[in-house]
Amino acid sequence: MQWLRKPSQQGVNTNIAPLCLYLLFPLYPSFLLFSYFPYFPHFPRSLTKNRRWLIAINYHLLHWVKLPKQLTNQNLEIMNTQHTNTATLAGKIFIILVLIFTANFKSGFAQSSDTIIIGNASIGNATGLLVDGNNDPGNQVNDSTFISLTGKASVGSFNPSAFSNEIIAFNVDRPVAVSTNVPWTTGNDNISVNFSNKIMIPITIWIVNGNFSTQKAKAIAAVNTAAAIWSAERMGVGFSSVTYIDATKNKKSRNYNSFTCSLQAGLQSDIGMVAGQVNVYYVGTVDGGSDRGQSCAIGSSFIALAANSLSDLLCHELGHGFGLTHIDDLTTYFDATNVMYSASSVRQFFTEGQLFRAHTITNSTLNALYHARPGQVTRLCARDDSSLTCPTIHKRIWADGTFPAN
């Protein structure tokens, strides 16, 4: 009971570990929340912000302390020093009883603590998790969010659910990992979730109209932009190869300078295509615009880009190939910074709801064309679906610009 010794009159004796206990009144889910901290300045920020009443036990003295308006390490040091000069036998006895009660309280109501063990994550990057299962009261939890900076994530207590026991994981340069039928128990669980290696896909880019060197430089910039967005937004996809073909000398190329989707079959027949991969065609105009693009269908392996299209448009059209649709009308949750906004020059974000769909939608080119996820989970999640098996399209583990995590 070293902490019951009388401290020095000069202030804090650093050889004695101070012991503090605080109690939060019922503004929180539990009636009483006991916790211990090794000195006043380490009280949690939630307490300092909300100026809760504290019952503070420092060394062997019980005092009521009301937080000042400006809670700093300095004034806490003053408060601590002022209240360590006297002690009462009643205070000592009360402290001992409180500690005994707290120990029994905690042991009697101890909850399980489950851990997710993360395998093959990229080094130095955070992993985001969406977790399903039952919580301790027995209620279904859907897409509860956790972030881990290590190879493990403590997620509290999950129990088996009759409806959904699932973990969805996101990491830089790793495909979305989906673990179904997670074997939660009522005890302490260690659940493994393993990422696959980055999916690498080949594409071929045809320069149909314009100056080949000029348009190739634009195409290279577009490829680099798509790769950068995919990496930053945890798409887990990259380019294994990019082939650039000069089709400007093809006599039939002039027939496709003004492209519409009605010309797709003719363009691929006359100019060429490589089976088993996405084919991109740089033409003069698309649907009458010199900066537009078309994939002509969701899940398509075909993309047409106009001569003056911006570098972020290729990523947008590839998103259509991944099964994603426009989100312009969802103004509460999206703006022009989302990659799937129809007309934008500032595209940079995907939500985790979009990433999930890009990997699991059955007609995504990742599944239907490249067969990059053999044997893995696929889903029929439409844009506006929100269920235990389909995270909402605007689900975010990390903030996207002005849109916060949710």
DSSP symbols for 281-299:
EE-SEETTBTT-EE-SSTT
Tell me what the pLDDT averaged over the chain comes to: 82
How would residue 2 be classed by pLDDT, with cut points 50, 70 and 90?
A: very low
pTM equals 0.74
Each residue's pLDDT tens digit, 296-354: 999 999 999 999 999 999 999 999 999 999 999 999 999 999 999 999 999 999 999 99
Domain ranges of the chain: 2-108, 115-194, 199-368
Each residue's pLDDT tens digit, 242-278: 999 999 999 999 999 999 999 999 999 999 999 999 9
For residue 363 the two structure tokens come to 């007609």
Q: What is the mean pLDDT of residues 279-284?
A: 98
Lowest mean pLDDT among 97-101, 131-135, 190-194: 97-101
Distance, CA of 401 to CA of 315 (rounded, Å): 18
Distance, CA of 19 to CA of 102 (rounded, Å): 14
Q: What was the pLDDT predicted at 111?
A: 55
Q: Which residue has the tokens 């650039």?
A: 244
Cβ neighbors of 116 (< 8 A, separation 6 or more) are 129, 131, 146, 148, 152, 153, 155, 167, 191, 192, 193
Each residue's pLDDT tens digit, 344-399: 999 999 999 999 999 999 999 999 999 999 999 999 999 999 999 999 999 999 99
CA dihedral 23, 25, 31, 37 (to 10 degrees): -20
Q: What was the pLDDT predicted at 15?
A: 34
DSSP symbols for 241-291:
EEEEEE-TT-TTGGGGSEE-GGGHHHHHHHT---TTSEEEEE-SEETTBTT
Q: What was the pLDDT predicted at 118?
A: 98
Q: What was the pLDDT predicted at 290?
A: 97
165 and 114 in contact (C-beta within 8 Å)?
no
Each residue's pLDDT tens digit, 185-229: 999 999 999 999 999 999 999 999 999 999 999 999 999 999 999
Q: What is the mean pLDDT of residues 142-160?
A: 96
Name which CATH class applies to 199-368. Answer: alpha beta
Half-sphere exposure of 3 (CA within 13 A, CB side): 18
For residue 333 the two structure tokens come to 């949750």
Segment holding 35, helix H or strand E: strand 34-37
Longest dimension (CA), the chain: 102
For the chain, the distance separating the N- and C-terminal CA atoms, rounded to the nearest angstrom, is: 46
Each residue's pLDDT tens digit, 225-251: 999 999 999 999 999 999 999 999 999
Considering the domain 115-194 in this protein, what is its CATH number? 2.60.40
C-alpha to C-alpha distances, 405 to 130, 224, 352, 402, nearest whole angstrom: 12, 27, 10, 10
User: Is residue 36's pLDDT more than 90?
Assistant: no
